[in-house]
Amino acid sequence: MSENLVAFEHQLGKTSLSLPELLTQEAKEGIARQASFPTTRDEPWKYTRLARVAGLSVTPIAFNGAPTLLNGMETIDVIFEKGTWSCSTDVEGLTLQSANAISPEAWQACTTKGHVQHLNTLTAQGGVGITVAAGMSIQQPIRIIHRCSGERFALVLHHQIKVEDRAQVRIELIFEGEADQAYSNVLTDFFVGKEAQVHVDKWQNTQGNHYGFYNERIYQDRHSTFRMQTLTTNTHFTRNDVEVFSQGEAAHTQLYGAFFGRGQQLIDNHTYVHHMAPHGTSDENYKGVLWDKATGVFNGKVKVYQDAQKINAYQSNKNLLLSSAASMNAKPELEIYADDVKCSHGSTTGQLDAQALFYLQARGISKAKATEMLVGAFCAEVFEAVQSEYIQTAIAEQLTS
């Protein structure tokens, strides 16, 4: 077990990105200091075992060449498939490039924290850099599709999305394919300019024995809006870390999520919202539905800095357990250093309403169909926030299987 993190990093190879020296140094030291994967004694990994991940033997997939150009019509696509990547051509106000081409100075987020980000910093093999120019509103949604199938691969990518002042964009982050004994580590940085508006729908649906680690870091300037819906279905192991730095005054953040676990699947959602400036608002709403022996985690942390007065932070996490062997671990964390703020959180975990189920069945609806209707109703607030038709249709199909 000793030094298994160091060994794991070695098999992923060296990053093809040009990151600032300081950042890679920090990551190197971090890996050396930790040496081993965290265990359940480490607070951030309390409910999520990494022994299987540490034991993976994988080959990295590199996306070094120039992308195949696509002629997008209704959507602007960026597709990472095993071995190749393709990309729509630029439209007015939008620049797309390989993350490999981003200069060290342009990687603004000079931090790395925890083994997942350290590994990403040292070993990322590509990614996409997207810039939406100031004042521009991109009509078509941008879809970043990760479609990797196969066995024993490692997909380590670092995307950067810059939405300049007053710009507007809608993004879909899609993870699909069928994988075995594989590892993904995808880090996405969002820079949201003044009064900019960003809507992200994220769907994780990589099937098979796959271990997925997803980090989103969001840096919000004043009066900006960032909304993200995270939907997780059919995945063996998923860990999400969403960290928001609400740096500008009166920024609004919405983080919604719905996750569906079956079999022995594990879905771990960590969110961390830093309210660093006054008058900001954040709204978190996560719904979990677990069948069989599935495990869910929701750890939502909100930190309100001393100068961040008049903050309104709301967090809700509700879960449905549809089997007695399923388990849910919910942990809200509030750290408040300002004195004039409104922060509330609530979490419930329970079973389906037996009365409602009986009522539906008493009208001739099968138990399976009635359950599906009640699960749909339970997640309705999250589904309604999703704007991607592609994701909406796919999820509806999955829930009616």
Partner 1 sequence: MLEIKALHASINGNEILKGLNLTVKPGEVHAIMGPNGAGKSTLASVLAGKEDYEVTSGEIVFDGKDLLELSVEERAREGVFLAFQYPVEIPGVSNVNFLKTAMNEIREHRGLPALSAKEFLSLVKEKSALVELDATLASRAVNEGFSGGEKKRNEIFQMAMLEPKLAVLDETDSGLDIDALRIVAQGVNTLKTSDNATLVITHYQRLLDYIVPDYVHVLFDGKIVKTGGKELALELEEKGYDWIKS
- Pairing type for strands 84-88 and 68-70 reads parallel
Among 32, 101, 356, 396, binds partner 1 (CB under 8 A): 356
Smaller CB separation from partner 1, 51 or 377: 377
Other Cβ atoms closer than 10 A to 65: 12
3-state SS assignment for residue 308: coil
Select the span of 106-114, 115-123, 170-178, 355-363 touching partner 1 (CB under 8 A).
355-363
DSSP 47-73: T---HHHHT---EE----SPPEEE--S
Among 39, 57, 323, 366, binds partner 1 (CB under 8 A): 366
Smaller CB separation from partner 1, 263 or 346: 346
Distance of closest approach, residue 292 Cβ to partner 1, in angstroms: 22
Element at 86 (helix H, strand E): strand 84-88
- Residue 377 makes contact with partner 1 by CB under 8 A: yes
The DSSP letter of residue 281 is E
Among 41, 71, 364, 397, binds partner 1 (CB under 8 A): 364
As to burial, measured by CB atoms within 10 angstroms (0-12 exposed, 13-18 middle, 19+ buried), residue 259 is buried
- Residue 358 makes contact with partner 1 by CB under 8 A: yes
Phi, psi dihedral angles at 188 (to 5 degrees): -125, 125
> Which positions from 249 to 278 touch partner 1 by CB under 8 A, shown as an x/- string?
------------------------------
3-state SS assignment for residue 132: strand
Distance of closest approach, residue 163 Cβ to partner 1, in angstroms: 33
Among 374, 382, 385, 395, binds partner 1 (CB under 8 A): 374
Select the span of 145-153, 213-221, 241-249, 373-381 touching partner 1 (CB under 8 A).
373-381
Closest by CA position to 301, among listed 268, 326, 328, 333: 333
C-alpha separations of 330 from 10, 26, 301 in Å:
34, 31, 11
Pairwise CA distance, residues 216 & 233, whole Å: 18
> Which positions from 330 to 349 touch partner 1 by CB under 8 A, shown as an x/- string?
--------------------
Phi, psi dihedral angles at 63 (to 5 degrees): -120, 75
Smaller CB separation from partner 1, 71 or 355: 355
- Residue 2 makes contact with partner 1 by CB under 8 A: no
Amino acid occupying residue 90:
D
Distance of closest approach, residue 357 Cβ to partner 1, in angstroms: 9
Distance of closest approach, residue 365 Cβ to partner 1, in angstroms: 5
- Pairing type for strands 84-88 and 76-81 reads antiparallel
279: alpha, beta or left? (left if phi > 0; alpha if psi -120 to 50): left
- Residue 369 makes contact with partner 1 by CB under 8 A: yes
Select the span of 92-100, 270-278, 326-334, 359-367 touching partner 1 (CB under 8 A).
359-367
Among 32, 69, 110, 380, binds partner 1 (CB under 8 A): 380
Smaller CB separation from partner 1, 43 or 384: 384
Per CB under 8 A, residues contacting partner 1 are 353, 355-356, 358-367, 369-370, 373-374, 376-378, 380
